[in-house]
Amino acid sequence: MKKTTQINPYLFFQGQCEAAFRCYEQCLGGHIDARHTYAEAPEPDQNPPGMDDKIMHIRLAVGDWVLMGSDSPADYYQAPQGFAVSLVFDEPAEAERVFNTLATDGSVTMPLAETFWADRFGMLVDRFGIPWMINCEKSG
């Protein structure tokens, strides 16, 4: 039997994980198939103060693609840097829709536009602090 390897982004938040994943679920058309709070942990008395209602683990499935995340205790949180979650679309209109949705209340670092390799390419940081690259490669 052939072993399957998956590479899945795992995102960390400062208390907005559930709101972010609800946004991503709606925007990307996926579904959250796992959601666990710190209070659900086997030893909730070991949780950092104020974290009981925060997300310890969440999983969003979009087709064959998986995005996971959690809320970090304040002492462990580090702002995202040095990466972006890359989304690739077949249709420019879908790339535009997702880009515009994720950019709402965030910041655009490169406007969505045609490039020499793509019908549409752009970069942004969403309102939750997560960097994204949206790409719709040219066909043929």
Q: What is the pLDDT of residues 32-46, one digit of tens each?
A: 999 999 999 998 788
Q: Are 55 and 18 in contact (CB under 8 A)?
A: yes
What the block records as the tokens of 91 is 């249709």
pLDDT at 140 > cutoff 90: no
Q: What is the pLDDT of residue 43?
A: 87
Residue range(s) of every CATH 3.10.180.10 domain in the chain: 10-71, 85-137
Burial class of 122 by CB neighbour count within 10 A (0 to 12, 13 to 18, 19+) = buried
| CATH superfamily of the domain spanning 10-71 | 2,3-Dihydroxybiphenyl 1,2-Dioxygenase, domain 1 (3.10.180.10)
Q: Do 14 and 72 meet the contact criterion of CB atoms below 8 Å apart?
A: yes
CATH superfamily for domain 85-137:
2,3-Dihydroxybiphenyl 1,2-Dioxygenase, domain 1 (3.10.180.10)
What are 68-88's pLDDT values in tens digits? Answer: 999 999 899 999 999 999 999
> Would you say residue 67 has pLDDT above 90?
yes
pLDDT score at 47: 87
Could you give the maximum distance between any two Cα atoms of the chain, in Å?
Answer: 57
